[in-house]
Structure 1
Amino acid sequence: MKLSSKICRRIGTCCMAFMLLLSTLPMASCGKKGDASSSSPSSEGSSSSKSSKSSKSSKSSKNNKDEEAIPAEALPAPETAAVFPPPPFVDELRSKNIYILNLDSGKEVWAQGADERIPPASITKIMTCLLALEYVEDLDGESVALTTDINNYLYEQRIDTLGGISMGESFCIRDLLYAMMLQSANEAAMMVGKYVSTKDSRAPEGGDLEVFAEMMNEKAREIGALNTHFVNPTGLSDDNHYSTAKDMALIAQYAWEHPKYGETFQEIVSTNAYTSKPTNRNPNGITWYSIVYPQQNSQSDYYIPDLHGIKTGTLFEPDRDPNPNIHNFVTTVSRDGYTYLFSVCGAPVAGEDSNGNYGRYAKNLAFVDTKLLANWVFETFQVKTLVNVGETMTQVAVNLSWDEKKVDLIAAEKFASLVTVETNADNVQKDVVLYNAKKRMIDRKEEEKYFDAPINKGDELGYVRITTAGNLELGRVRLVAAKSIERSDGLYYMSKFKEFMGKFVFKFLLTFLIIIAVLYILLMIIRNRNKKRYRMKRRPPRPPASRKN
C-alpha cells in the first residue's frame, strides 16, 4: 500500500506539471479574426503591400467588428495625392512659383515651388476683398471716405494711390472693391481694410489697419493658408508680409467658390471697366479699368479666351536690397466645361537680355507663362468617369450558404477624376481591398478570400483603389454587396462545431482526458498487482504434509 500511494503521488505530480506546461503555451491558435485583404478585380488572390496597409487602417476604423459596414467617412484616404508630370516646356517658364488647381474636381494638377515664401504684392487684395464681402452686409449702403492718415501714409511712402480718390471723397464699399480689384487702388484697399476692422471688437472707433491684418491672418489659417502672414491690406513691401503660390490659390478658391458671396466676387474680378456712383468730387463718378490684360483685347499677345480675373501683383524696387523684382498673377480659365485656377508667381520684372544689359522686360512674364500653362492643361487633361455607380468590380466567395457561392461587389457611387486625355476606364489600375475577408486554402495550393453569410444587400465590404499607369492614386470608391445572401443554419452550426474542434481549448481538454485515462489504467494495473501481493502475504501457510510410516 505504501508503494501504491507513493506511485499515485508521483503520477499526480506529473499530471499537474503537464497541465502547467500546457497552460504556458501561446494561445495563437484560438481562432483568428479575418484580416482586411486586397485583390484585383481579375484575380482575387493578388495583393500588394499598399493594399495591406490600407486594409489595416480600415480594420482599425471598424474597431474590429467584422459584421459592421464601414461608413463612407471612414474610407481610408489615398496614401499620396496624384500630381501629374510637369509640362514639356517647363524649362521655358520664367515663373518660379506655380500652383495649378482644377476647380471641377478640386485636384492639384501641377506645382513648382508652390510652398516657397514670396512677397504676394497686390494679390494680397484678394484677401482684403474676401473679408469685405464676408463682413459688410450692405455693399451699396455702407460707405467710407478717404481719411488724412491713409492719404499721408501713401504720400510719405511715395506710393501710387492708383484709384484717383481725393481726400474726404466718400464711396460705398462696392465701388471701393472694384477700384482695388480692377485698378489695384492702394488707397481703396486701405479704406476698405480700416472700415472692415470696425466690425471687430478689438479695433478702436474708426477702425485700425493692424486689427485688420490680424483678421486677415486668422482667415488665412481658417482657409488652410498656413504659410502666409499679412501686415497690410495692399501687399506693399514688408519683410513680414509673405505668402506662397499655393496659399494664394487656396485663398482665391475660397472666395471664388464661396456659397454666399462667390458670385459677387466673380462678377467684380471679371469686369473690365466699372464706373462708380457720383461723389461730392466727381459728379460723373470715377471709371476704373482692369489691369488683367489677358482677359481684355483679343488682339493682345497676352489674350487667353475665357480667362476671368482675378488679380495681378507687382513689386519692383531697384533701390531696395534685395529688390523684390516680382510679377504675380492669380486667375481662372474656363473652357469646354472645365475651370482651372492658376497661381503663377515669381516671374521677374527685370533682368539681363541676351547682350548682358539689365533692364525691365517688355512683357509681363507671369502673363506669358499663364498662357502657356492654360493651353497645356486644356490640351492635356479631362475629367473622365472611371467607375460607374453599380458597376461590378469583383466577385468574392461566400461561406455558410447552400444557394450562393459568390457575391458581386459593386461600386457604391460614381467616380470621376481629372486625368490625361489618353487615360480611360480601361487603362487605369483598379485594386480591390476587402474589409475583414477570411482566407482558406483550395487544393492546398491556392488561397481564397471569402465572407461568411448572411450578407445584406448594400453591406459595405471593401473599396477599390484607382491608380494610373504611373502608379499615381486618383481616388477610392466604396464597394457594397449587390444582393442579400441568407445563411444556412445547418452549415453554420457545422462550422461552429469544426471551429470548436480546432480550438486550443478543445485540444487541451482532449489531451488531458487521454492522459488521465492512461494514468488511470496504469493505476488500476498497479493497484491490482498490489492486491494480489497483499492477498498472497495474508494467505496462511499450508500445513506440512504427514509422512507415512
Structure 2
Amino acid sequence: MKKRWHKVLALTLAAALCLGAVGCGKDEGTTEEQQVTTETEGTEGQENTENQENQEDASADQAASGEDQAEGAKEPETEGETSETEGAAAASPMALQEVWLQADGAPTITAESVLLIDQESGTILYEKNAKEKIYPASVTKIITALVVMDYLQPDEIITVGTEINEVTLDSSKAGHVLNEKLTVENALRGLLIPSGNDSANVLAAATARKAENDEDMSFAKCEAVFTDLMNKKAEELGAVNSHFTNAHGYHDENHYSCAYDMALFAMAFMQNETLAEIISEKSFSGNGADGQFADDPEVITQDYNWVSHNYLITDNEYQYAYATGIKTGFTDEAGECLTASAEKGDMKLISVMFKGSDPARWTESASLLDYGFNNYTRVELTAAGAAIEEVPLTKHNKLQGDTVPLVYQNALVTYLPTDAVNSVETTVTILDDYKVEEKDGTVKVKAPLTKGEEIATVTYTIDGKEVAQMPAYAGADIEKGTIFNNIWYGLKTFFSHLFSLKGLITVVVIVVILVIIYLILKRMRYGGHRRRGAYTLKSPSRRRGRRRW
C-alpha cells in the first residue's frame, strides 16, 4: 500500500512540475502599457483611433457634461455599426454639454441671450443667459419644419385652405392663395426663405389633418393639434424652457423658448438633408407644384420668387463666407433674432442670438462664429468601441488573454482651446468591486466580466485641473479561471513554444525532472527489496537460538 501511495505522490509531483515548467516560458502578463493607472501626455495622433478595430461600438449622445458622453451603462453596439457622441438627431431627450475648458478671446456680444455650439457634438463653446426665457419670433419655424417632416414627405402635394386668412396683416407672408396646390418641399421653402406665416399655417393644417386622419378638421383644431406636436417634439429633443402656441412665432405671451432649446432644435434641423438644403438657398424661383399641373388649367398653382432674409448667406455687406443657414426672426418683444450655422474645415458651428439689434445680429454672429473656428480644435480622444487602455486581468480564463480592453460606448469627441490640445492627461481608475492590487502595486481587474459592464472611471485633466470624468466599460466577456482551462492553457502554451528556444529549455527541464523522479522511484523500490530480504534472513536465526536456549 505504501508503495502505491509513493508512486501516486511522485506522479502528482511530476505533473505539477511539468506544468510549472511550461508556465515558466510564457510572456510576462503585465507591461508598462498595461498599468491600470496611467497618464498620457497630449492627444496628438489620437484622432487616428477611429481606424482601430471596432470591438464594440459608443455617446453620444450625449449628456449635459463630459461624463454623459458615454451615455450610461448600456452595452456598446455591435461591430459594424457606428456610434458617436456626435451624429444623428436624437430620438430621445438630448442635452448640450459644457466645453471642457473655455478659450480666451471671446468677443463682446450685446444680444441678451446667446449660445455658440458645435453642430455635431452639441459642445457649448460660448454661453450668455442661454436658458433664460425669450420670445422666439419666426425662429419658431425651425421646430415647425421638424414636426412637418415627421408626418409629410417633401414631394407630397398639399392644398392651401382658409388657414391663410388666419395670419395677421403685419405678418411676413409667402403669398399663397386659396385652393392653390404645391409640394410640401416648396411650402417649406415658403416657410423658411421668405419666412411666410401663411406657409406655416398651411403646413400646420396639412400635418394635423394627416396626424389625426381627419381631412375636415377646422383650422382652430388643426392649430391645437399641431402645437401639441410641437411641444412634444421640443420635449423629445431635450428642451428645458419652451412652449409653443402657434406654428409661425407671432407674439403670444405663452409662446416662448430659450437659446439653449433653439440650439437643440437647430442641431436636429441641420441633420435633416432636405431642410439643410432649403435653408442654405439664397433665393427660390419656380412653380410651387414644380410644374406638375402645367397641362391642367383648372388646378391652381403659382410661380414664386423668394429671397432669403438671412444676410449671412445672401450677397450683401454682412455676408459671411462660411455661413450655411438657418433662420431669422423679429417682433418688438423678441427683438432682432438670428440662429446661424457655418462650416469651416471639419468644424460645423451653430450660433443663437435673441433680443439683439440690427446690424449687430449680423456682425456679432460672424464674430462669434470666428471665435469658435479660430480658438477651438475638434479632438477625437477615442473612437467608438476602440480600446482606451488594455487592463491586466486576474482570476481569469487565460485562454482569453491576460488583458481586457476598456472602451467607451460612443466615440469621445470634444472641442478644446487650440493651445490646450497637447496638455490633456488621462487617468484610469478601476472600480473597487473589480480591483485587485498585487504586492508590487500592479492593479488588475478580477474576472468574471460581462461585455459592456462598467468597470472603471476615466478622468481627464488639463494643466492639473480636472475637466471631465467618464465611465469606461469592459470591451469583452471574460470567464473566471478554472483548473481545467488553466491546464489546457498550459498544454497549449507548451506546444506553441515547443520548437522555440524557450520551448527547448522547457523540454530539457521536464526531462531532467522526469529522470530525477524516475531515480527516486527506483531508489524507493530497491530500498524496499533490501528491507524485505533482511527481515527474512534474520527470522530463522532467532527461532533456532530460542530452541537451543
Residues 455-491 of structure 1 show CA distances to partners (whole Å, capped at 9, x for unaligned) of 8999975353334443221755435589999566899
What is the identity, as a one-letter code, of the residue corresponding to 1:433?
I
Q: Which of 133, 142, 153 is matched with 2:157 structurally? A: 142
Answering whether residue 329 of structure 2 is matched by residue 313 of structure 1, we say yes
Please tell me whether the aligned partners of residues 76 and 452 of structure 2 are also in contact (alpha carbons under 8 angstroms).
no
Instruction: Report the CA distance between 1:164 and its aligned residue.
Output: 3.1
Correspondence 1:231 to 2:245 = yes
Determine which of 205, 225, 235 is the counterpart of 1:221: 235
Q: Secondary structure at the match of 1:117?
A: coil
Equivalent-residue separation in structure 2 for 1:187 and 1:402 (angstroms): 70
Q: Is the 8 A contact 1:410 1:479 kept in 2?
A: yes
Letter in 2 for 1:172: T
Distance in 2, Cα, partners of 1:90 & 1:105: 20
CA contact (8 A) 2:227 2:244 kept: yes
Q: How many residues align?
A: 391
For 2:151 and 2:279, the matched residues in 1 are separated by 18
Query: In 1, distance between residues paired with 2:470 and 2:447?
Result: 29
Which structure has more relative contact order (CA 8 Å, sep 6+)? It is 2
Contact 2:159 2:182 in 1 (8 A): yes
| 265-274 vs 418-427, greater mean Cα deviation | 418-427
TM-score, length of structure 1 as denominator length? 0.60
AA matched with 2:279: V
**Counterpart-to-counterpart distance in 2, 1:199 and 1:397:** 58
Q: Which residue of 2 aligns with 1:277?
A: 287
Q: Structure 1 202/302 Cα, relative in aligned 2: closer, same or farther at 3 Å? A: same
Contact 1:140 1:173 in 2 (8 A): yes
> In the alignment, is the contact (CA less than 8 A) between 2:161 and 2:202 conserved in 1?
yes
The question of whether the paired residues in 1 share the 8 Å contact of 2:334 and 2:354 is answered with no
Question: What is the rounded CA distance, in whole Å, between the counterparts of 1:487 and 1:426 in structure 2?
Answer: 44
Pairwise CA distance, 1:289 = 0.6
Q: State the shift of 1:451 in Å.
A: 4.2
| In the alignment, structure 1 residue 337 sits paired with structure 2 residue 358 | no
CA offset digits 1:92-122 (Å, max 9, x no partner): 2012222222233343333221111100000
Q: Deviations over 1:24-62 (max 9, x none)?
A: xxxxxxxxxxxxxx963159xxxxxxxxxxxxxxxxx99
- 1:402–1:249 CA distance, 2 compared to 1 (3 A): closer
Letter in 2 for 1:466: Y
1:235 is displaced (CA, Å) by: 0.4
**Structure ID, larger Rg:** 1
Distance 1:71 1:188, change over 3 A: closer
Q: Is the 8 A contact 2:120 2:267 kept in 1?
A: no
TM-score (norm 2): 0.60
1:465 aligned residue: 459
- Find the counterpart in structure 2 of residue 40 from structure 1: 37
Who is 2:24 aligned against?
A: none
Give SS of 2:287's match.
coil
| 1:397 CA drift (Å) | 7.2
Give 5+ residue unaligned stretches, structure 2.
Answer: 1-34, 41-71, 78-84, 86-95, 290-296, 488-549
Amino acid at match of 1:383: R
How many Å separate the matches in 1 of 2:485 and 2:203?
77
The CA distance in 2 between the partners of 1:454 and 1:197, in whole Å, is 54
Within 5 A, what are the aligned runs for 1:87-106? 88=104, 90=106, 92-106=108-122
Closer/same/farther in 2, CA of residues 455 and 126 from structure 1, 3 Å limit? closer
Task: Please show how residues 237-276 of structure 1 align to structure 2 within 5 Å.
Answer: 237-257=251-271, 262-276=272-286
Instruction: Give SS of 1:332's match.
Output: strand
Aligned match of 1:57: none
Report the more deviating stretch, 227-236 or 88-97.
Answer: 88-97
In 1, the alpha carbon distance for the partners of 2:328 and 2:158 equals 26
- RMSD in angstroms over aligned alpha carbons? 4.2
Partner of 2:309, secondary structure, is coil
Contact 1:394 1:432 in 2 (8 A): no
Residue in 2 that maps onto 1:109: 125
Cα 1:451–1:93 shift into 2, 3 Å: closer
- SS of alignment partner, residue 430 of structure 2: strand
Cα shift readout 1:191-232 (whole Å, capped 9, x = no counterpart)? 221222212339653542222222211222222224211111
Letter in 2 for 1:462: A
Unaligned runs of 5+ in 1: 1-37, 44-60, 63-69, 317-323, 350-362, 493-549
Report how far residue 341 of structure 1 moved.
2.1
> In structure 2, what is the Cα distance between the partners aligned to 1:40 and 1:375?
39
Q: Percent identity?
A: 20
Alignment pair present for 1:371 and 2:380? no
- Partner amino acid, structure 2, of 1:412: V
SS of corresponding position for 1:462: strand
Q: Deviations over 1:111-151 (max 9, x none)?
A: 221111100000111122222222123x444222252x642
3-state SS of paired residue (1:200): helix
Alpha-carbon distance change, 486 to 426 in structure 1, aligned in 2, over 3 angstroms: farther
Residue number in structure 2 paired with 1:181: 192
